[in-house]
A and B are shown apart, each in its own frame.
Chain A
Amino acid sequence: MALVEIRDLRVRFHSTGKEAVRGVDMTIEPGQRLGLVGESGSGKTVTAMALSGLLQRGSAALSGQVLFQGRDVLTCPREELRAIQGPGIGVVFQEPMTSLNPLIRVGCQVEEVLRLHTDLTADQRRERALEAMVQVGLPEPEVTYEKYPHQLSGGQRQRAVIASAMVIHPKLLICDEPTTALDVTVQIQILRLLKSISVRYGVAILLISHDLSVVRRLCESVAVMYRGRIVERGNTEDVFASPQDDYTRRLIAAIPTRKRHE
């Protein structure tokens, strides 16, 4: 069974009346790394947020089906949805500067998902959190555990966010522009890290990005979104080699040449 199966997802925001997602179909297999590309406003983030259950149901009208391990996250009861959020689907957001709580120690934020979803004791949680922090490459985990987010650099914060999502080994990690806010060398390190986590634990990754070259580094398959629809999908290298859709061609053409041949 596919891990994620999205059928004819449509999202219309009440505030603007705009249909941001207009009939998206998509499947993600366990352990698969899928890139979802498109310009801003193409609906890629909205699709991901619908999948992770973070679209406040009051603010938008959703229709279609979003099945995670066979359960529809659009219609299932809140408790069931919350049981998926964390152990089922972890999310890494774009802004490492603001996606951590400024007043809570880094370690506590990393282990929060364990506190919510497991019966581990405080000591066991701390142990797991430290392990995760080592894996994502945070220096001196014992010290970092006690720090507050503002005491970390941007790259370290993003590692902390990744640690907080993967500490429970979710089935799917949604990464929404995880490297956009970081400088280039850190970008590459973070992408490598995500790939190694995916391979090591069999975690599926849905990478949201406007940058095809980032997707190419991490994902074996790609879907291109344009104006709320998926216009092209397939194996990443194939799409690069022979794009079928006009919009995809333009996206590829927009990558600086040096990057394209990297």
Chain B
Amino acid sequence: MRYVLKKTGVLVVTLLLISLLAFLAFQIVPGDPTTKLLGNDYTPERAAALRHAMGLDRNVLVRYWDWLTGFVTGDMGDSYSYGMSVEKVMEGKGAVTAGLSLMAWLLVIAISIPLGITLARWQGGRLDRVFVAMNQVFMAIPPFFLGMLFTYVFGLVLKLFVPGGFVSWRESFWGFLGYLIFPALAIAIPKAAMVTKLLRSNILNEMDRDYVRTAYSRGNSRWGVIRGHVLRNAILPVVTFVAMTLADIVAGSIIVEQVFALPGLGRLLIASIGNRDYPVVQCIVVIIAFIVVFMNYLADVITQTIDPRIRLG
């Protein structure tokens, strides 16, 4: 419990630090936003007036605090290029990215956990040999290329879905999920290959431990030993890894959204980088950073609470 409190404290400090760094970076590096906003109407007087109106002439820490409180309460400032508030620009896009990432994450779990266990159970069997031979290839495929392969094979040739035919979850929830399956698979498969490999080798490493011999000596079968004894030991590091994977998956979805023309935060982020629309970039980066840090925190806490050796000291 003390550990969790301490970690939570560290989490809050980390989040503040990240938001501060992001804020400072986007304040200092890109230069004066009034130049872009005023365009051809630029005069030093107008710029000064605009700076005052935008509050840019105030102390940077004051502005940070204003931005942060706004960010937390859902008032995220104004976009430079869309002529509306950042939260309005992002509306509905978060749900797409969240839905995609979550689905990919669940697919990673649904594929790799049963597969890893099965491969370890029949180590050296046909399926296992195929996996060992192919695994490096799966891990080497960039998700966005896999997405293109899926688009070609399942979208254009087999016509299982219409590329670009995204449906909002407001229109049709099942249509929304159905369209997300292939992009989610594209993100999930390389990650699932990694997790499967990790789980399989963890189980096989654990099989050499002394307690496994004890379990065999009681008359357990290999499957009984794996299910009843090895799995809970082998899966601990995997749980941590899987929790941290969500961060990579969110990052992967930034790219895969582009392949499947999904109107999510990733596409918005890329477009905004192109437009130099810093308030939008800053918000999305901070949101994703928060998710990453929070998942790492969660992974830490989960590890601490499911291992009795750590939990009970």
Binding site for B on A (CB under 8 A): 52, 54, 78, 82-87, 89-91, 93, 95, 98-104, 112-113, 116-117, 148, 150-151, 161, 164-165
Task: Given A93-B214, A104-B232, verify A82-B312 contact (CB < 8 Å).
Answer: no
- Cα distance, A66 to B264, chains bound together (Å): 68
- Cα distance, A117 to B213, chains bound together (Å): 18
- CB interface residues, B 188-227, toward A, < 8 Å: 209-211, 213-221, 224
> Are A98's CB and B211's CB within 8 A?
yes
How far does the Cβ of A72 sit from chain B's closest Cβ, in whole Å? 17
- Cα distance, A104 to B225, chains bound together (Å): 13
> Are B217's CB and A103's CB within 8 A?
no
In the complex, B308 has a CB within 8 A of chain A: yes
> Are A54's CB and B211's CB within 8 A?
no
Q: Which 5 A-B pairs have the closest CB atoms?
A: A85-B219, A86-B219, A98-B210, A91-B217, A101-B211
Residues of A within 8 A of B221 (CB): 78, 82
> Are A148's CB and B218's CB within 8 A?
no
Residues of A within 8 A of B209 (CB): 98
B-side interface residues, number (CB < 8 Å): 22
Task: Given A116-B224, A148-B308, A151-B312, verify A100-B219 contact (CB < 8 Å).
Answer: no
Residues of B within 8 A of A87 (CB): 219
Residues of B within 8 A of A99 (CB): 210-211, 213-214
**From A99, A103, A113, A150, residue with most partner B Cβ within 10 Å:** A103
Residues of A within 8 A of B57 (CB): none
How far does the Cβ of B43 sit from chain A's closest Cβ, in whole Å? 71
Residues of B within 8 A of A164 (CB): 214, 218
- Cα distance, A161 to B211, chains bound together (Å): 10
- CB interface residues, B 78-113, toward A, < 8 Å: none
> Are B218's CB and A85's CB within 8 A?
yes
How far does the Cβ of A103 sit from chain B's closest Cβ, in whole Å? 5
Residues of B within 8 A of A117 (CB): 219
Given pairs A93-B213, A102-B233, A116-B224, 11 additional interface contacts (CB within 8 A): A54-B213, A54-B216, A103-B236, A103-B308, A113-B218, A113-B219, A116-B218, A116-B220, A148-B308, A148-B312, A150-B312
- Cα distance, A87 to B217, chains bound together (Å): 10
Residues of A within 8 A of B308 (CB): 102-103, 148, 150
In the complex, B309 has a CB within 8 A of chain A: yes
A-B contact pairs, 28 of them (CB 8 A): A78-B221, A82-B220, A82-B221, A84-B219, A85-B219, A87-B219, A89-B217, A90-B218, A91-B214, A91-B217, A93-B213, A98-B209, A99-B214, A100-B211, A100-B214, A101-B215, A102-B211, A103-B236, A103-B308, A104-B229, A104-B232, A112-B215, A113-B219, A116-B220, A148-B312, A150-B308, A150-B312, A165-B218
In the complex, B307 has a CB within 8 A of chain A: yes
> Are B218's CB and A101's CB within 8 A?
no
Residues of A within 8 A of B214 (CB): 91, 93, 99-101, 161, 164
DSSP majority for the A interface? Answer: mixed
CB-nearest residue of chain B relative to A89? B217
> Are A116's CB and B210's CB within 8 A?
no
- Cα distance, A150 to B233, chains bound together (Å): 14
How far does the Cβ of B84 sit from chain A's closest Cβ, in whole Å? 53
> Are A85's CB and B211's CB within 8 A?
no
Residues of A within 8 A of B232 (CB): 103-104
**B229-273 to A contact mask, C-beta < 8 Å, 1/0:** 100110010000000000000000000000000000000000000
How far does the Cβ of A258 sit from chain B's closest Cβ, in whole Å? 32
- Cα distance, A61 to B215, chains bound together (Å): 23
How far does the Cβ of A79 sit from chain B's closest Cβ, in whole Å? 9
> Are A103's CB and B233's CB within 8 A?
yes
- Cα distance, A176 to B213, chains bound together (Å): 12
CB-nearest residue of chain A relative to B307? A103
CB-nearest residue of chain A relative to B233? A103
> Are A148's CB and B309's CB within 8 A?
yes
CB-nearest residue of chain B relative to A58? B124
Task: Given A98-B211, A101-B211, verify A86-B218 contact (CB < 8 Å).
Answer: yes
CB-nearest residue of chain B relative to A151? B312
Residues of A within 8 A of B217 (CB): 52, 54, 85-86, 89-91, 93, 165
Which listed residue, A83, A85, A89, A150, touches B309 by the CB 8 Å rule? A150
How far does the Cβ of B124 sit from chain A's closest Cβ, in whole Å? 9
Residues of A within 8 A of B228 (CB): 112
- Cα distance, A86 to B232, chains bound together (Å): 23
> Are A82's CB and B233's CB within 8 A?
no
How far does the Cβ of B304 sit from chain A's closest Cβ, in whole Å? 14
Residues of B within 8 A of A78 (CB): 221
- Cα distance, A102 to B306, chains bound together (Å): 12
- Cα distance, A164 to B210, chains bound together (Å): 15
**From B209, B216, B219, B228, residue with most partner A Cβ within 10 Å:** B219
> Are B233's CB and A85's CB within 8 A?
no
- Cα distance, A89 to B213, chains bound together (Å): 14
Residues of B within 8 A of A103 (CB): 232-233, 236, 307-309
Residues of A within 8 A of B309 (CB): 102-103, 148, 150
Residues of A within 8 A of B220 (CB): 82, 112, 116
